[in-house]
Amino acid sequence: MAVETTENGNGPSTLLDVRGLVKYFPIKRGFFRRTVGTVKAVDDISFDIREGETLSLVGESGCGKSTTARSIIRAYEPTAGEILFKTEDGEAIDLAQLSLVEMRPIRRQLQMIFQDPFSSLNPRMNIYEIISEPLLVHGIGSSSEREDRVAELLRVVRLRPEYMRRYPHAFSGGQRQRIGIARALALNPRLILADEPVSGLDVSVQAQVINLMMDLQDSLGLTYLFVSHDLSVVKQISNRVVVMYVGRIAEIGTPQELFDSPKHPYTAALMSSVPKPHPSQRTKRYVLEGEVANPANPPTGCYFHPRCPFATDQCKVEVPPLVKSKDGRYVSCHRADEIELTAN
Amino acid sequence: MSEKPAGLDAEPVISVRDLETHFFTDEGIVRAVDGVNFDVHPGTTMGIVGESGCGKSITAKSILQIVEAPGRIVNGEINYRRGSGETVNLLNYESGSGNMRAIRGGDISMIFQEPMTSFSGLHTFGNQIDEALRLHTNLAKQERFDLAVDWLARVGIPNPVQRMHEYPFRFSGGQLQRAMIAMAMCTNPRVLIADEPTTALDVTTQAQILDLLQRMQEENDMAILFITHDLGVISEIADEVTVMYLGKVVESGPVFSFFDEPKHPYSRALQTSIPSMFTSSRERLPSISGSIPHPQNRPSGCAFHPRCQSFMEGTCDVGEPELVSVNEEQEVSCFLYEER
């Protein structure tokens, strides 16, 4: 397994190591804005991303996957935990401890691609201004060098450099998303956080953007943290997948492992909910009862226990730790080794 | 092959013929729906597949005559077969007429994509479901309340009596979609139009809603017109499929033929370019080049020709292909299949 090789020191090294990340949002009410509760958006999660891989965070809306990505890039202030990022000189820095000024040079190496290509590009800036802005902010190159760089980036994302004086409205959704990718690549980042990058696109255009992202990864040695609710897209692009439920990790594994032999009952339910691609595969779905738990008032014990067909008394009181199972996979379920699950 | 649902042999309950709905904008006329034909049979599900701008939602709204200005139905027939066997062309009724209002929400109900914006935030949920029942049934107040509670329970909403007095913001997205289904179903419609009812929902909630719709269909022998861009959902729920591209039908046929032997190059490209849980990881999918043209700049000839793998110069960019039968069950509009 990939996990083993890293621990033996033979595999690719860890680029980002998230340890015990917590992000709570206060709920404020009334005239004095008193804090009356907390939303536990991300509640003690740990995972690592290796150089050159695509790690995906999946889960239903409100599971904390976007909050995790935003905390890593420090768009949100993490409540607790370590975010160890290996810089170019091989030194591991805890991003959670840096001040925003110290964070600025690191941001060159961490870039983000957003979901909505219609609202993430400033309509009053032309394409040259949009893509060169990160270069300008970081004081890189003269104006003619920047222009050359923008032309090069446009070619990389398969747009014509002649278009650089045009404004975003002249481009389709797929083209705008490629402009967003070009902007993210401008500073030669090492880790790209992509939050639902193809969800806003028409299905016939999604494949273009996914293929481009995979090609860029191969040619530029990029590492992706990919956030998506679309399990089919995740399966296609990822090396490993982190399944989240109400701010916690249910399971980590390769897409094939999670789909063929899920260990956590939630993973099995999630995979089983994905529509089958051919009508002959219509089967009785394993339909989850009930609603996703409320992160402001989560249940005791394992957050999934009220919906879990395998829950025991232990699950109602004790939080299952994320442990490495016998075959080297990470699961947080008290009964992972006893129950037989299938996604189909 | 699975057996064909019996309803497919029955007379269609809705038969759309040569429907044209145009939008008269300052920039010119947009032919959003441009000569669309299809039938919906009782007890079966017709899936309309297409991407943004293909006219699938406008087609649905045209059936109920709820197209917003500057849109207008300019041509065609929407033949609705009543329970008595009598067939009427709904376009002979004025949109605001009593006849049309009796059908809209009564015989034919609709559920929408965004459950969060489809309810009024100013009225309790009970008030809103009661309105539908008041308009379409002769029941007394208490009977209406009991029926509404009964439907909320049937769609799986906990504490239905209490929920009747609550406002929509108290419901989650999946609950609202279920509540909308309850509201659409409480008048016992013969046709349900579902416009992307699961697109805004998570996969687990989507599976719950699809299950619910299938159960309702089995119980009531209701016809469903299911509109979506998601081929996975089509493969789960549809009996027949109509594929639209820029206002026209490019292919139609039974769901099995559509997945086994898609005929139109657009249908084929859609099926190969969309990732599924069964493609292997890190595989490059063949992608469809270009993007959907703006409806104002509709390409000449076949609207798909600039993106088509089988483009034939001098044919596809000149004439418009007709929808023709290629075998007993499938129809396609493509010059590859036209006798020349």
- pLDDT digit string (tens) for chain B, length 340 residues: 445 677 788 899 999 999 999 999 988 899 999 999 999 999 999 999 998 889 999 999 999 999 998 999 999 999 999 989 899 999 999 998 999 999 998 999 999 887 888 888 899 999 999 998 999 989 999 999 999 999 888 888 888 899 899 998 888 888 888 889 899 989 889 999 999 988 878 888 888 889 889 988 998 889 999 999 999 999 999 999 999 999 999 999 999 999 999 999 999 998 888 888 777 777 888 888 888 888 888 899 999 999 998 999 989 999 999 999 999 999 999 999 876 5
Contacts A172 to B, Cβ<8 Å: 291-292
Beta-carbon separation of A238 and B285 below 8 A: no
CATH architecture of B6-121+189-258: 3-Layer(aba) Sandwich (3.40)
Instruction: Calculate Rg over the CA atoms of chain B.
Output: 21
Contacts B173 to A, Cβ<8 Å: 61
Separation between Cα atoms, residue A284 and residue A278, nearest integer Å? 14
Judged by a CB distance cut-off of 8 A, whether residue A205 touches chain B is yes
Number of H helices, E strands in chain B: 11, 12
- Beta strand residue intervals within chain A, DSSP E: 14-29, 34-50, 54-58, 80-86, 92-94, 110-113, 191-195, 223-227, 240-245, 248-253, 323-324, 330-331
Query: How many residue contacts between A and B have a Cβ separation below 8 Å?
Result: 147
Give residue limits of the domains in chain B.
Answer: 6-121+189-258, 122-188
Separation between Cα atoms, residue A206 and residue A224, nearest integer Å? 17
pTM assigned to the model: 0.87
C-alpha separations of A174 from A158, A160, A234, A235, B232 in Å? 11, 14, 18, 21, 22
Beta-carbon separation of B232 and A232 below 8 A: yes
> Which DSSP state fits A206?
H
Question: CB pairs under 8 A, 24+ apart, for A155-159?
Answer: A156/A182, A156/A185, A156/A216, A157/A181, A157/A182, A157/A185, A157/A212, A157/A216, A158/A212
Beta-carbon separation of A203 and B270 below 8 A: yes
Beta-carbon separation of A206 and B273 below 8 A: yes
Beta-carbon separation of B281 and A211 below 8 A: no
* Residue of B88, B84, B12, B75 lying closest to B46 (CA atoms): B12
Within 8 A by CB and 6+ apart from A224, the residues are: A53, A54, A55, A191, A192, A193, A194, A213, A217, A237
- Beta strand residue intervals within B12-121, DSSP E: 14-25, 28-40, 45-49, 71-81, 87-89, 108-111
Separation between Cα atoms, residue B295 and residue B55, nearest integer Å? 10
Separation between Cα atoms, residue A204 and residue B293, nearest integer Å? 12
